[in-house]
Amino acid sequence: MSTAAEPKLVSPAAQSGGIARLLRKYALQIAVVLVLLALLAFFIWRSPQTFLSYDIYNSLMSTTPFFALMAIPLTLVIIAKEIDLSFGSIMAWGMAAFDVVFVTTQSVWLGFIACLVAGLFAGLLNGLIVVRLGIPSLVATIGTSFLWRGVVMVVTNGQGMGMTPVRSTLLYPLLVGRIGGVVPAQFVWTIIIAVIVWFFLNRHLFGAHVYLTGDNVDSARLMGVDVERTKTLTFVIVGLVAAFAGFIVSEEVLFFWPTLGDGYLLNTLASVFLGGTSVFGGTGTIFGTFFASFIIALINPGIVAAGWTAYWTQLIYGLIIVVSVSLQALLRRRLA
């Protein structure tokens, strides 16, 4: 490539209709934000006493991170055209590691580190089973999901554990405190993790390879992309963040239930797919996942406040997954 001075390229398209093109490029992200705002407006209209008070937003900011945290790295896995269904069990497995290490050493910090390492290891195991043995990730992670849940049950003997000792350490205000007495710390952590993952996905070699691997694994391999390492790393990140999320949930409710993580599968997956990440791999955004997770979080209190039964929630989550995945398939067919 020559280094000679180049005449500045003037793109005609950039001059005329640049805004239109930006709109088209970010259509999905804009749509997700609009849906969130529309839903919010609808609930405010239906139930102003609930949705005009701070309480509901405090509750949303403190509980949405429970699954939004995992939806963010899970986006990487799905862009790479894999899936991970084991993150719920990894949450509990991380806490079981905390349990054991804390009981032995009486150190909250050592327990916290053990929790993260356990999550990382569980992610690595997922990655190795999928990449080295070539097991479809759907099957592999259903397997490890039962495996880790079983380990947790055996290790804890099915007994939970109070998390009050953590209250006296810096970890408590750091992870689940209320910043300025108002903003839950876990909400800030969700933003921080979203920004970090966004950076690695869009501005780092790793993210470039995640997109290429999911888009066309053969092309990526031919062009020298280490698709095995890339896929493994996405699983490792999900494992690490799932353990972190498990710690935050247990801290927030001040108790570790061995069933921790059960019931997060549906809303986490719904967040990723509603956020526009394609089940066919190769496309998806952290921005979409982040905002979609708040749409998902809003549905439950919204339904209750609107006077319907909470039984509707599951139906609507399921519907969201089916509709967004079907829309992706239709969109893909139109492009092909």
Partner 1 sequence: MEYLLQLKNVSKTFGEVAALRNVNFEVGRNEIVGLLGDNGAGKSTLVKIITGYHQPDAGGEIYWKGERVPRLTVHKARALGIEVVYQERALADQQSLWRNIFMGRELRNSWGVLKVDEMRRATEKLMRTEMHFTSSAVTAESTVATFSGGERQGVAITRALHFQAELIILDEPTMGLSLTETQKCLDFVTGIKAAGKSAIFIDHNILHVYPVVDRLVIVDRGTVAGQYMEQDITLDDLIERLKHLARTGTLENSVPAGK
Residue 178 in 3-state DSSP? strand
Cα–Cα distance for residue pair 217/214, rounded to 1 Å: 6
- Measured from the CB atom, the residue of 25 and 167 that comes closer to partner 1 is 25
| 19 versus 335: smaller Cβ distance to partner 1 | 335
Q: Which is nearer to partner 1, 55 or 218 (CB)?
A: 218
Q: How far is the CB of 271 from partner 1 (least distance, A)?
A: 21
Q: Which residues pair with 178 in a beta bridge?
A: 184
What's the closest the beta carbon of residue 324 comes to partner 1, in angstroms? 17
* Contact present, 71 and 272 (Cβ < 8 Å): yes
Q: Of the two residues 107 and 216, which places its CB atom closer to partner 1 in the complex?
A: 216
| β-pair partners for 179 | 183
Give the nearest distance from C-beta 164 to partner 1 in angstroms.
Answer: 41
User: What is d(CA 90, CA 86) in angstroms, rounded to the nearest whole number?
Assistant: 6
Minimum Å distance from CB 330 to partner 1? 15
d(CA 202, CA 193): 14
> Please, what's the largest Cα pairwise distance for the chain?
71
Binding site for partner 1 (CB under 8 A): 1, 6, 9, 11-13, 25, 203-206, 208, 211-212, 215-216, 218-225, 282-283, 335-336
d(CA 123, CA 142) in angstroms, rounded, equals: 13
Nearer to partner 1, 1 or 330 (CB): 1
* Residue 202 CB, nearest approach to partner 1 (Å): 8
What is the C-alpha separation between 88 and 257, in angstroms, rounded? 12
